[in-house]
Structure 1
Amino acid sequence: MNVRQNGAARTRRILAGVNLAAAAVLAGQLMVVAPAQAVPGLVRVQSTGPIDSDWKTTNAQCPPGTTVLGGGGRINTASGQVVMDTMLPLSDGSAYSVTGREDDNGFAGNWSITTTSLCAPAPAGLETKTMFSPDNSTNKSVTLPCTAGKKAIGVGGELSGGLGQVILEELRPDADLGSVTVTGAEDANGHAANWSITAKAICVTPPASLERVAGPFGLLDSTDVKTNTAICPAGKRVHGVGGEIEGGAGQVRMTGVLAASTTSVTVTGMEDENGFAGNWGVRAYAVCA
């Protein structure tokens, strides 16, 4: 299903030489400085919530005067039995929010959520777009485009009605950053009730050198835990986060999708408690500038 939607006149040779040398120095400075922080004031905020065995939500609050551009989360100590069914910016742009729910078998141990937000004063052209999928009991995907001329810097998704039995398999800024894709899949036990996807795209007038970097994708196999990291090129910083599971058939959960540092995004996939005989992989995406 595709709801898928940068001369003065030459008077004397020596003066020309001085001007050219000065211009070269200036150009060198611009080449070093300009890419370092395409969105001024960008900060990474991290918050870890309570440790217990209840479903929970943890927000990473942006500092005053800033708005959320992207974010993600990680489940701490839950052995693949907790689903992050909400990873999205709050509607007022004040934080990134992650909700975790235990699957239908539950989990006896305690666990917590670590959430990260990438925040900055509102950049040019900032808008947050929202799209909803149909509400039914089938696996589904939503592709949400940015307004023409803008690019996605952040992505969010929520599974309404999944109750821990539906997996966020894709939370992905697409290759040209013109859209985002959010995909949900029911787990191995299925889910009889209706559920839906809310997809969110944080879009901006693209800053210079904005690009999506994908982590190197290894061989598909049945290793029970895999981690993939996307690293921004030298001089660039992470502005947005994404990840996906390939071939997991609802039995592999993304237990971590977050900016591990200012220059890298790490995504972890983990099989459920019953394991998974099929071959699967995990990929991290970093939106860099």
Structure 2
Amino acid sequence: MGDTSHMRTTLRRGLAGLGAGALLLGGAQIVTQSAASALPGLVRTTATSAPGSTVEKSQTVNCPKGKKVLGGAGRVDGAPNGEVGLTFSSPVNGGAGFTVSAAEDADGTTANWTVTAIAFCSNEPAGLQYVQHTFTAGSTKSRWSSITCPKGKKVLGAGGRVSGAKGRAVLTGVVPSEDGRTITATAYEDEAGTTANWSVTALATCVKPSKGLEIVQAGTAQSSDVSIAAAPLSCPEGTRLHGVAGEVGGGNGEVRLRALDDDGDDTATARAAEDANGTDRMWSVRTYGICAA
């Protein structure tokens, strides 16, 4: 299931863009206060791993004491093009923090790269619940899994996790449904493939619908002429970013999702890049921003 275009929402379309520059390196952990919110005490926390060249790398950022993760974001910095891709981006430890993991492709890289995890934390909102579903492990080129929030609740944060592939399969999408209740995670084996049994897990942060809760989206055009693409969007005026999701369409494992990023000022961007061998396939990238007042 390399292309999940049939699951894309039509709630709101943002500005689309292409990007081909290197990403900025993340800094030390910070905590910043957002504007007043219907979800009180909203803060953004970040943490960046030490730079280095290793097959797989993970970074967790914890919420301040007394707060819970709503959603999050993450990115890979310092790696050439699509030689490193995301494998895990999700709330962890019962909402105490947010983890982002990434893995090098089969060719590897000698570059010193980092992983940055970003968590959106707040006082516990009404009806907060973390749900997940794992599709049975197997060895197929692509796999997917979906999870739906309980009746009366909506998605505020989204996550996906690939397990058991040892870097030979990466996330290709974490996608909210049109009604804002379901998250679908998709993954694809890279060109090297694997005989290992691996699985993909979809995760969702569910809450009772809050003021201004809306899923905003932006996407690039299908193309085979770019090696890196990005689709930035901004939350509507009066709302704040609470979670980031995104997907690669058409890459079939030859395009790696390297960022589901919070660029600051309530702006989200999904970034993707072709692997070192490139591809003549038509592909695109789409960003979903989960926004609320």
Same fold, TM exceeding 0.5? yes
Structure 1 residue 121 corresponds to structure 2 residue 123: yes
Higher helix share: 1
Q: Is the 8 A contact 1:222 1:276 kept in 2?
A: no
Question: Which among 154, 157, 162 is matched to residue 159 of structure 1?
Answer: 162
2:227 alignment partner in structure 1: 224
2:100 alignment partner in structure 1: 98
Q: Distance in 1 between matches of 2:201 and 2:219?
A: 28
**Structure with larger RCO (C-alpha < 8 A, sep 6+):** 2
Q: Is the 8 A contact 2:219 2:285 kept in 1?
A: no
Structure 1 residue 237 corresponds to structure 2 residue 240: yes
* Structure 2 residues without counterparts, runs of 5 or longer: 8-34
1:40 alignment partner in structure 2: 40
2:22 alignment partner in structure 1: none
CA gap of 1:249–1:219, structure 2 versus 1, over 3 A, is closer
The structure with the larger Rg is: 1
Q: Distance in 2 between matches of 1:206 and 1:188?
A: 41
Q: Distance in 1 between matches of 2:289 and 2:38?
A: 14
Q: Deviations over 1:146-183 (max 9, x none)?
A: 00000011111111111111120111222221111100
Q: Is the 8 A contact 2:219 2:284 kept in 1?
A: no
Q: Is the 8 A contact 1:245 1:252 kept in 2?
A: yes
Q: Distance in 1 between matches of 2:130 and 2:246?
A: 19
* Structure 1 residues without counterparts, runs of 5 or longer: 5-34
Percentage of identical aligned residues: 37
User: SS of 1:92's equivalent?
Assistant: helix
Q: Distance in 1 between matches of 2:120 and 2:262?
A: 8
Matches within 5 A, 1:4-19: none
Q: Is the 8 A contact 1:131 1:142 kept in 2?
A: yes
Question: Which among 115, 131, 134 is matched to residue 132 of structure 1?
Answer: 134
User: SS of 2:95's equivalent?
Assistant: coil
Q: Distance in 2 between matches of 1:181 and 1:100?
A: 19
Q: Distance in 2 between matches of 1:142 and 1:230?
A: 26
What CA RMSD, in Å, does the superposition of the two structures yield over aligned residues?
1.8
Structure 1 residue 206 corresponds to structure 2 residue 213: no
One-letter code aligned to 2:43 = V
2:21 alignment partner in structure 1: none
2:250 alignment partner in structure 1: 247
Question: Which among 139, 143, 146 is matched to residue 143 of structure 1?
Answer: 146
Q: Distance in 1 between matches of 2:150 and 2:204?
A: 10
User: SS of 1:282's equivalent?
Assistant: strand
Query: How does the TM-score come out when normalised to structure 2?
Result: 0.84
Question: Which among 166, 169, 173 is matched to residue 170 of structure 1?
Answer: 173
How far does residue 226 in structure 1 lie from its aligned partner after superposition? 0.4
Equivalent residue pairs, number: 258
One-letter code aligned to 2:225 = S
